[in-house]
Chains A and B, each alone.
Chain A
C-alpha cells in the first residue's frame, strides 16, 4: 500500500519528466561495457594470465610466490631481449575505448541528473518502478530504482572516481594478457555497485551487494594462476558470506515485523517497531553484521588485506573507494532504523572505533605498500562507522566521499610506484618484491609527480587543513564529542556502560587513531619516496615516471582531495573565513537522513564555538605531532633491504604479524571446520548416512524386491496356472463372500 502511494506521489514528483527518468541508463552503460569487453576477452588467443607466448608484464602482488616469479623468468628468457617490444591484447584498443568510455558517459549522465536535482531539490525520493519482481502474497518487491540525495552522492562517487580509475587502468594493465577480461569485470563491478545504491528496496540492494562481492572475488583472483591470489579471492568471498547472512536475517526480520522491505516503507513504518525495542536492535545488529563483512570491520576485516592480491586499480576502486563503503551507505540508508536503537548505534560506533585503532596499529608495521594502504582503509572505514554509529550520518557519508578521493589517489599512486618498480625489476630480470617498501626509497627523484600527489593525499588522510580529510574526520570526531552531551545515545547504556562515557572513549580512540594514521602514512611516504634508493643500482636506471594516462587521473584526484572539504565546511570555519557556504552536504542530505539525525540528537545541547575550535585545534595538533614524530623517529636511511631484513621481535613482531589474527582464526575456526567437515560431515554424514544408507540402501532394497519377484517367475506354466486359479478364487471369494 505504502509503495503504491509512493508511486502515485512519484507521478507528480519534481523529477518526473526530466533527465532523471533516464536513471536506468546509469547501470546499463557499464553492463553494456561488461558484455562488449567480455565478448572481446573470449574472442582472443590469449585467455588467462600465463599464455606461454606472452610475457606477463603485470606487477606481482605480495603473495606472488617464487613459482610465479620463476615461470616469469622463463618467459622473459624465452623472448630474450625482445621484452621491451610491447605485446598487447589484440582487442586492447577497442577495450581502452569501451571500458573507460562507458564510465565517462555514465558520469556525464550522473552530472546531468545531479544538475536537475540541485534545481529541483526534491523532498521525497524519486522512485522508478520497472516491473514487479517478487509478488508473493503480502511480499511485494519491485525491481525499482530510487533516486534521492543519498544515492546521488554515491552515484557521483562511483561513476566519477570509477571513471578515473578506469582511465588509470588503461596504463596500468596495458600489457596484461587479460586486458579485456579485466575491464569487463571492472565494468560489471560498476554495474552492480550502481544497482546497490540505486535499488529502492533491500532485496534490490542485496542483488547489487552480492554482485559487487562476486566482482570483488573475480578481480582479487584476477591473476588466478598464482594460488595465493585465488585463495585471497576465495577468502574474501567466504568471509563476506558470513556478513551477507546477517543482512538476509535483517531483511527477514524486517518483513516479519513490519511487512515492507522498500526504503520508503521502512522509513515510514520503522517507528512501529518501537524505539529501543529488542526487535529493532536485533535487526540493526544483523544488518551491521552484513556491514562488517562488506566494509571490513572487526571481526570480519581479515579478507581486505588479502584482497590486495588483486591488481592495484581494483584495490583503489573496489577495496577503497566504493564497494567497502557499501556498509556505510547501508547504515545511512537505514538511518531510520538505527536511530531507533541507541544500543545498535553505539555498537556500530564502538566497533568502528576499535577497528580504526586496531587496523592503524597494524598499519604501523607493514612493509608492503599496499598492505599499509589496506589497513589504512580498514581504519578509515572504522571512522566512517563511528560517524554513522553516533548518528552523524552526513559526517559518515562526507568521510566516505573524501576518503574515496584521497584513498583512490593513494592506491593509484602506489600503483604508479609498483608499476615503475616492476618495470625496473622486469628490465633486469630480477625477482625482487616490487611492492615492498624496503626495496623502494628515494623514489621522489624518479617519480616526482606521483610523490607530490601522494603527499597531498597523505596530508589529507592525516587530517591537515585545508585538505578534505581534515574536515571530514574532524566532523566525525566533533559529532562524537557533541553526542556525548545529552543525546539519545548519551542517555542510553551499552553493556552497562553509560553511553556518554562510551562516546568519550570513542572520541579518545578516534584521536589516537588519527595520531597513528599520521605516523603510518608519513612512514609509508618516507620509506617509499625519501632517503637512499634501495631498489638496486642496476634497476635504478630503469626507474621512470609513469605515463600521463596514469598521472592524469592522479592529478584530478589530487584536486578533489584538496578541495573535497568544501563539500561540507563546518560553520565554525565559514563564520570566520569567507571561503564559501558551509554545511552544503548536510543541507543536501537533509531530506534523507535529517529526521533520523534529529531523533538521535534530540535534547542535545549545541557545543559552544570555543569548545569546537579547541577540538579542531587539538585534532590538527595531533595530526602535526604524528607527522613530526614520524619525521624525527623514522630514518629511511637505516631501513634494510628486504633481502637483508631481520624479523622483528616482541610486541613489534606481534604487530608486524597482524596480531596473529589470521593464525588464531586458522586454529580456532578454519581447522576445526575442516576437521569436522572431513571427519563428521564427509565420513559420517555423507559417506555413511547419505551414500551408505540412503543411496546404497535404496538400491539394496530395490534389488531385494527384484530377487523376490524373480523367484516367482519359475518358467513353469503349471505354476502360473495355479497362481492364476488361486487368484481368481480369492477375488471371487472377496467379491461374493462379503
Chain B
C-alpha cells in the first residue's frame, strides 16, 4: 500500500520538476512548483498512515506556507508583467555576471 502511494507521489513530483525545467512561462512554472509541493504533501499523508500523525501536522504547515508563497509569488509575477509586459523567464535575465 505504501509503495503504491510513494510511486504516485514520485510520479507527481517528477512531473512537477520536469514542468519547471521545460517551461518558460512563470505562471506555469509556478503551478509546477505547486504540484511538487502537493506531491510532497501526499507523501507526508501516506507516511502518516503508517508511522503516526506527525506527517499530517507537516501537511498543514506546508499548505500554510505555500499559500503565503503563492500570494507573494503571484504578486511578483504581476509586478514583473506590469513592468516588462512579459512573464517569459527567457527575457527576465538582468541579474547576471
Contacts and interface: CB of A to CB of B under 8 A. Distances in A.
A716 interface: yes
B20 to A, nearest CB: 5
A715 B95 contact: yes
Contact of A711 (B20, B90, B97): B97
A658 B59 CA distance: 101
A715 B17 contact: no
11 contacts: A710-B97, A711-B97, A713-B95, A713-B96, A713-B97, A714-B93, A715-B96, A716-B89, A717-B89, A718-B21, A722-B21
B34 to A, nearest CB: 15
Contacts of B95: 713, 715
A715 B94 contact: yes
Contacts of B84: none
Contacts of A718: 21, 24, 89-90
Contacts of A717: 89, 92-93
- A: contact size bracket: 10 to 19
A628 interface: no
Nearest to A709: B97
Given A709-B97, A716-B89, 19 more contacts: A710-B97, A711-B97, A713-B95, A713-B96, A714-B93, A715-B93, A715-B95, A715-B96, A716-B90, A716-B93, A716-B96, A717-B89, A717-B93, A718-B21, A718-B24, A718-B89, A718-B90, A721-B20, A722-B21
Interface string B7-41: 00000000001001100100000000000000000
Contacts of B24: 718
Nearest to A719: B93
A700 interface: no
Contacts of A713: 95-97
| A contacts with B: majority SS | helix
Contact of A725 (B21, B90, B93, B94): B21
B22 to A, nearest CB: 9
Contacts of A716: 89-90, 93, 96
Shortest Cβ-Cβ A-B pairs, 3 listed: A715-B96, A710-B97, A715-B93
B96 to A, nearest CB: 3
Nearest to A714: B96
Contacts of A725: 17, 21
A722 B20 CA distance: 9
A279 to B, nearest CB: 65
A712 interface: yes
Contacts of B89: 716-718
A341 B17 CA distance: 89
Contacts of B92: 717
Identify which of B21, B89, B93, B97 gathers the most chain A CB atoms within 10 Å of its CB: B97
Contacts of A712: 97
Interface of A: 709-718, 721-722, 725
Nearest to B17: A725
A725 B21 CA distance: 9
A433 to B, nearest CB: 73
Contacts of A710: 97
B75 to A, nearest CB: 17
A712 B95 CA distance: 12
A725 B24 CA distance: 16
A656 B21 CA distance: 95
A714 B96 CA distance: 5
A711 B24 CA distance: 21
A522 to B, nearest CB: 88
Contacts of B17: 725
A709 B89 CA distance: 22
A77 to B, nearest CB: 70
A283 to B, nearest CB: 64
A218 to B, nearest CB: 57
Contacts of B93: 714-717
A711, A712, A714, A716 interface centre (most CB from chain B within 10 Å): A716
Contacts of A709: 97
A713 B97 CA distance: 5
Given A711-B97, A713-B96, A721 B90 contact: no
A715 B94 CA distance: 6
A712 B24 CA distance: 19
Contacts of B97: 709-713
Nearest to B89: A717
Contacts of A715: 93-96
Contacts of A714: 93, 96
Nearest to B95: A715
A460 B21 CA distance: 106
B39 to A, nearest CB: 15
Interface in B57-97: 89-90, 92-97
B35 to A, nearest CB: 14
A717 B95 CA distance: 10
Nearest to A717: B89
A553 to B, nearest CB: 79
A270 to B, nearest CB: 71
A716 B21 CA distance: 12
A716 B95 CA distance: 8
A215 B30 CA distance: 81
A417 B14 CA distance: 106
A165 B48 CA distance: 101
B94 A721 contact: no
A714 B89 CA distance: 12
Contacts of B90: 716, 718
Nearest to A716: B93
Nearest to B94: A715
A210 B45 CA distance: 84
A721 B90 CA distance: 13
B32 to A, nearest CB: 10
B87 to A, nearest CB: 12
A721 B21 CA distance: 6
Nearest to B26: A717
A71 B20 CA distance: 86
B27 to A, nearest CB: 14
A721 B94 CA distance: 17
Most B-side CB within 10 Å, residue of A709, A712, A714, A718 = A718
A715 B93 CA distance: 4
Nearest to A718: B89
A717 B29 CA distance: 11
